[in-house]
Amino acid sequence: MTLPSAVLAALVAFVLMEPVTAATHRFVMHGIGRSLHRSHHVPTAGRFELNDAFPLMFASMVMLGLWAGFNLDGLEVLVPVGAGITLYGATYALVHDGWIHRRVDWFAGRHVATLDRLAEAHGLHHRHGGAPYGMLLPIVPRQLRDRPVDCHKAPARF
């Protein structure tokens, strides 16, 4: 595989992860994986929550793909695809856990307009228990954009 095609494969994988993540969030985390994801929608006392099992599962799948790409003939494309997915996962973790939920102290007291807008969209998800499900390019339904914000309302339970 040439370097330009590897970079392209990694870039395509990174970009495609946003709709894959939104669909996974909607149909797995708010579906069959609800019992684990519910911990993310309620205040927790500890540093970890049951929802943290999801990135471990997703990373395990990517590592399996990377192993296959490095070790099995004809599957070399899985290496740059795995790199793109890993880069998306790292970006997601920094934005979601680091910036939005302030689970790490790196961003304390800082404001970046773009990241603050992502935090507002994610706040809608927590308040209403529904859309937007995406993270880096959240699609906020019009009815939520037009709805007045009640900052005293408890987060949605699902």
Which of 33-37, 43-47, 99-103, 114-118 shows the lowest mean pLDDT across its residues? 43-47
HSE toward the beta carbon, residue 43, CA cutoff 13 A: 3
User: Cα 98 to the chain's mean position, in Å?
Assistant: 12
* pLDDT tens-digit map of 59-98: 999 999 999 999 999 999 999 999 999 999 999 988 888 8
Residue 126 neighbours by CB distance under 10 Å: 14
Q: What residue ranges do the domains of the chain occupy?
A: 3-110
Please say if the pLDDT value at position 150 is more than 60.
no
pLDDT of residue 152: 45
CA distance 37 to 30: 7
Kindly report the pTM of this predicted structure: 0.83
* pLDDT tens-digit map of 56-67: 999 999 999 999
Dihedral sign computed on CA atoms, order 37, 42, 43, 44 = negative
Residue 83 is given by DSSP the state: H
